[in-house]
Amino acid sequence: MRHIENKKLNLIRACIFDLDGVLVDTAHYHFLAWKRLANELGFELTPADNEQLKGVSRMQSLDIVLQLGGITATEHEKEVLANKKNAWFNDFVDRMMPEEIFPGVKQLIRELKAKGVKVGLASSSKNAKTVIQLLGIQNEFDAIVDGTMIVNSKPHPEIFLLTAEKLGIVPEECLVFEDAEAGVEAALAAGMKCVGVGSPLQLNRAHEVVAKTADFKITELAKL
Ligand code: B16
Ligand code: MG
């Protein structure tokens, strides 16, 4: 009797993009704003320190920054500091141009959609909607989840699971693009595939790592 092996095919039917550091270099603006806050508090914040802040919510990032500086603060003081950092971040965002979107990103999104792959945005940032509007890409996504819609920030999988649910695609058929270690962990915890954008040393847990988002070739989708 012939034995027919029923092999499960895990096709990627949705791509979920992080925002800061994946579609645009706002990750650098976050760093400059945190660095300014640290300097004002009397200590230095290095790019290496900044890796811990990527993908993490504003208040959690502040806790890490204060810990790095050995500073304790009341809840009210924390609120004031977080608002200050956010105002500095928004000074950069206000001057943002649509051309700041990373080269090739719009093309990649278009190619995915042409192949019938759904496209989602999952950003921990409460400023995400403003940023995508300034970039003129607010209508490119089939689902958007930002920092105002979640309780647990990355590395918790909530943001990606909610995006997948809105897209109507099961997690195993989703591919996440992430520049943060916390984001890669969140994608894996959600049971999704993940492309790391940045350094393979930092993002070694991702299924594949590219230096820039647009370096990802859609022919790779079938191999993941
Ligand atoms: P906000 P992402 C994240 O965005 C950033 O990586 C992280 O550095 C930032 O602290 C977080 O958003 C919250 O941002 O203060 O604007 O609410 O990378 O998930 O798109
Ligand atoms: Mg990011």
**Averaged pLDDT for residues 49-63:** 95
Dist. CA 5–CA 2, nearest whole Å: 9
CB 135 within 8 A of CB 98: yes
pLDDT at 175 over 90: yes
What is the CATH class of 2-24+98-222? alpha beta
Q: State pLDDT tens for residues 102-127.
A: 999 999 999 999 999 999 999 999 99
Shortest-distance atom of ligand 1 to CA 60? 10
- Choose which residue among 54, 144, 152 to substitute to test ligand 1 binding: the one with the highest number of ligand atoms within 8 A of its C-beta: 54
State the pLDDT confidence band at 10, using cuts at 50, 70 and 90: low
Amino acid code (one letter) for 161: L
Average pLDDT, the chain: 95
Dist. CA 66–CA 131, nearest whole Å: 27
Specify the residue with its C-alpha closest to ligand 1, atom 15.
Answer: 58
Q: Which residue stretches of the chain are H helix?
A: 26-41, 47-51, 58-68, 75-94, 105-114, 128-135, 158-167, 181-189
Specify the residue with its C-alpha closest to ligand 1, atom 1.
Answer: 125
Nearest to 54 by CA among 20, 87, 25: 20
Shortest-distance atom of ligand 1 to CA 53? 8
Q: What pTM was computed for the model?
A: 0.93
State the pLDDT confidence band at 19, using cuts at 50, 70 and 90: very high
For ligand 1, is residue 21 a contact (CB within 6 Å)?
Answer: yes
Residue 136: left if φ>0, alpha if ψ -120 to 50, beta else—which one? left
pLDDT at 1: 47
For ligand 1, is residue 26 a contact (CB within 6 Å)?
Answer: no
Q: What percent of the chain has pLDDT over 90?
A: 94
- Could you tell me which residues come within 8 angstroms of residue 27 by beta carbon, excluding any fewer than 6 positions away? 20, 21, 54, 179
For ligand 1, is residue 127 a contact (CB within 6 Å)?
Answer: yes
pLDDT at 74: 98
State the pLDDT confidence band at 145, using cuts at 50, 70 and 90: very high
- Domain spans in the chain, listed from the N-terminal domain onward: 2-24+98-222, 27-93
Q: Is the dihedral of CA 18, 20, 24, 27 positive or negative?
A: negative
Specify the residue with its C-alpha closest to ligand 1, atom 12.
Answer: 125
**Averaged pLDDT for residues 192-198:** 98
pLDDT at 4 over 90: no
For ligand 1, is residue 53 a contact (CB within 6 Å)?
Answer: yes
Has domain 27-93 been given CATH number 1.10.150.240? yes
